[in-house]
Amino acid sequence: MEKAILNTAYFPNIQYFTKLLTFDKIVIECHDTFAKQTYRNRCEIMTANGVLPLSIPVIRKNHTIVKDVLIDFTENWQINHKRAIISAYKNSAYFEHYFPYFEEFFALKEKYLLDYNCKILNKFIDSFSFPINYLLSESFCSADFIQIDYRDKIHPKQSKNAIDAHFKAFEYYQVFSNKFGFVPNLSILDLLFNEGPLAQQNIKKSILE
């Protein structure tokens, strides 16, 4: 049974989901040190003005481990994220059908970032029958004991995003493709709102053997 390890992620991108669907078991690292400008608290959507990163503000101190990172609700980030997603995808083919599945998360006052991300991931598993089997790490996972380590290898910065020989984004229709062409590896929301029930099939087509 192959096992891989990932960081937690906010509305993960398609590459992240290819790992969730590829491996028999996924461990999500909870005991590493939180780093800024990663997908732990960030996702990327496609808008009329191009790619837009949506970031959850967090409360942390130096060397705070991921499981202890608090969400900062002093800003109206949930309203801003909801408005941005509606504006970006309101004209997509499946937005009206699928957005209600996630609307609750833009009002949910979850204390910890990790719990919030896990609830989003569980929504995909429960609502769309994604065959995902994951568990949370009980302590920091040494690379010596991990078969395949994707921690910080799926990264928003191209300079840190490792070459992945097992992933190539399968092209699908996007709302603004006539303006920007196809933009790969956005948040799973982009694929879901544009492709609907074909989303999981398209993720699998992005997996290279």
pLDDT in the model for residue 2: 79
Model-level pTM? Answer: 0.95
* pLDDT of the residue at 146: 63
Full DSSP string of the chain: --EEEEE--SS-BHHHHHHHHHSSEEEEE-SSBP-SSSGGGEEEEEETTEEEEEE--EE--TT-BGGGPEE--SS-HHHHHHHHHHHHHTTSTTHHHHHHHHGGGGT---SBHHHHHHHHHHHHHHHH-----EEE-SS---GGG-SEE-TTTS-SSTTTS---TTB-PPP---TTHHHH----S-BHHHHHHHHGGGHHHHHHHTB--
Mean pLDDT, the chain cut into blocks of 10 residues (209 residues total): 89 97 93 94 98 96 92 96 98 97 97 98 92 92 74 88 91 96 97 96 94
